[in-house]
């Protein structure tokens, strides 16, 4: 079932079936180039555990991180998986935040997929899931992701160190 839809994309909850068919997600998070801005690549078991955490978030909060798939027929021949985007609770220095995030496959880079998905998530976070503030944590040298944050209306806030890695935070408030 689709949670969000745009002209080109459908964002849906990960499902138990996705636990059985991890190939696309596992390949993305195991690829060094696609994970160069993350602290480390991930194993297939870590990808499975991440989906399981999202299934628990859906149950507990009604939202989490959603799978991005293409609605375009020509994309289905090569697979519909384009990445993921969503919101999740995050605690920084004892303060609760709602983090927005996005990560798309290499084949999706430069096509506006991250911006389109993140924009839909950003809007839904405020309008549908009653959030009042969103935070994005982006490595300082991840220029493409910083552009996505700016395009969806977020503003650079501060530089922080989280779990040993440097990030620039972007925030937005409910209008």
**Distances in whole angstroms, Cα of residue 49 to Cα of each of 52, 68, 71, 148:** 5, 18, 27, 27
pLDDT, one tens digit per residue, over 20-54 is 778 888 888 888 887 888 878 888 899 999 999 99
Count of domains for the chain = 1
What pTM was computed for the model? Answer: 0.90
Nearest CA to 161 out of 134, 136, 135, 139 is that of 139
Which residues is 9 bridged to in the sheet? 70
User: What's phi and psi for 131, nearest 5 deg?
Assistant: -80, 150
Query: Measured between alpha carbons, how far is 18 from 20 in angstroms, rounded to an integer?
Result: 5
CATH number at residue 57: 3.40.630.30
pLDDT, one tens digit per residue, over 88-142 is 999 998 999 999 999 999 988 999 999 999 999 999 999 999 999 999 999 999 9
Do the beta carbons of residue 116 and residue 131 sit within 8 Å?
Answer: no
Sheet holding 65-70, edge to edge: 2-5, 9-12, 65-70, 81-92, 95-104, 133-138, 165-173, 155-162
Residue 127 domain boundaries: 2-173
Helices within 33-155 (DSSP H only): 44-61, 73-76, 113-127, 143-151
């Amino acid at each position: 079932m689709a949670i969000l839809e745009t002209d080109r994309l459908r964002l849906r909850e990960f499902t138990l079936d996705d636990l059985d068919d991890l190939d696309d997600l596992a390949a993305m998070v195991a690829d060094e180039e696609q994970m160069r801005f993350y602290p480390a690549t991930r194993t297939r078991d870590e990808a499975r555990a991440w989906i399981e955490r999202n299934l628990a978030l859906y149950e507990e909060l009604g939202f989490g991180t959603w799978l991005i798939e293409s609605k375009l027929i020509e994309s289905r021949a090569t697979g519909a998986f384009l990445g993921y985007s969503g919101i999740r609770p995050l605690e920084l220095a004892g303060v609760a935040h709602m983090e927005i995030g996005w990560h798309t496959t290499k084949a999706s880079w430069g096509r506006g997929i991250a911006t389109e998905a993140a924009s839909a998530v950003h809007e839904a976070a405020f309008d549908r899931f009653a959030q009042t503030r969103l935070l994005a944590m982006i490595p300082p040298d991840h220029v493409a992701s910083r552009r996505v944050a700016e395009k969806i209306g977020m503003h650079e806030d501060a530089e922080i160190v989280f779990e040993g890695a440097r990030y620039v935070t972007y925030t937005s408030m409910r209008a």
